[in-house]
Amino acid sequence: MEPPLSPRESGQYVAERSVDVRVEEEGAEKVAEMLYGLRNSEELSADGWKKANPLAPEPTSDQAINWVFVVDTMNFSFWPDSDSQQCEVTHRGCTYTGYMTLCAAITRAMDEGVPITDPQFFSRMSLEQLEHVLRSDTDTPMPMIRERHQVLTEGGRVLMEHGGSFRSFINRAGNDARKMVQLVTEHIPSYRDQATYQGRALSFHKRAQILVADLWGVMAARGEGDISNMDWLTMFADYRVPQALVHLGALRYSDGLMEALKKGERLPSGDRREVEIRGCSIWAVERIKVHLLRLVQERDKQNCPINSVIIDFYLWPYAKRHHQQMAHVPIHHTRCIYY
């Protein structure tokens, strides 16, 4: 069997064959024009990592890199079964929902003296211990607690086999983003985010890529140089950024898919429509990037340092900030450990 296509190749492969999702070139150009106006801002750089991750430990601390590993290993499936049943975590005077409940819960545990960022601890922690760490302040628990326990302890055991920290493990890949993704997906099964579409094996590797991107952000905040080959990474194919891409006109869903999502139909992981949403999202961001680089070259007569990761770093919080304006665009609901 052929090895899976890379995430970028997978995005193009799907976009060229998709039935229910289409990349809109004109919309991608408009998003690029919008981003062009922000090209010199902190919003479109890796330097804003701490601002985008206010609950993380200080980047200069020894805990920061392991914090990234713990959070990204459990970074999946936060959407509630209903808006009236939200998992919430209140910490340091703020109440969080969604992905931020995980960040708040991990930082709360650290404040309480739980060594949650120590692989020696989390590789062996019990389900009950993790349930306490991730406890909700409402009657609605965080989804998929058992799966989160399984992937965290699994990841911790891998780190213990390779030096006892995420830094010692990932150093085996040198300073290369592509090799880092390959190392993570080779050794940690829960990071192997793959699918089959029209007879071809694909990879999306959302969590593996965001893990490397977050490490990049931490390293930039620490002033410790750069990770090479970041251009190899794509956007992180989840359920929130596709919503923003549809809202902004870079993606279009068929009437049938839009109706199914508005009715609340859940798409199983690997479902053709789910694969099309994720693959076309990757390719839409690639097209946005191409148009943005062209604009900078034509108008500023210089090369543009903005990559797909930085565009994703912008689009995800954009979707959160504008959730009311884009409420007419449904997110797709897929319960899985990959996103």
Determine the Cα–Cα distance for residues 310 and 107; give it in Å rounded to an integer.
Answer: 25
Determine the Cα–Cα distance for residues 147 and 294; give it in Å rounded to an integer.
Answer: 43
Any catalytic annotation for residue 238? Answer: yes
Determine the Cα–Cα distance for residues 94 and 162; give it in Å rounded to an integer.
Answer: 37
Residue 120 sits at φ, ψ, to 5 deg, of -60, -35
- Identify the sign of the CA torsion 261, 265, 266, 271: negative
Place of tokens 């950024």: 241
Which tokens hold the place of 114?
């739980």
Residue 110 sits at φ, ψ, to 5 deg, of -60, -45
Determine the Cα–Cα distance for residues 279 and 271; give it in Å rounded to an integer.
Answer: 12
Give the dihedral of Cα atoms 31, 32, 33, 35; nearest 10 deg.
90
Cα–Cα distance list, 171 to 165, 175, 181, 230 (Å): 10, 7, 12, 16
Determine the Cα–Cα distance for residues 50 and 269; give it in Å rounded to an integer.
Answer: 32
Determine the Cα–Cα distance for residues 21 and 329; give it in Å rounded to an integer.
Answer: 13
Active-site hit among 176, 238, 271, 312: 238
Q: Enumerate the active-site residues.
A: 238
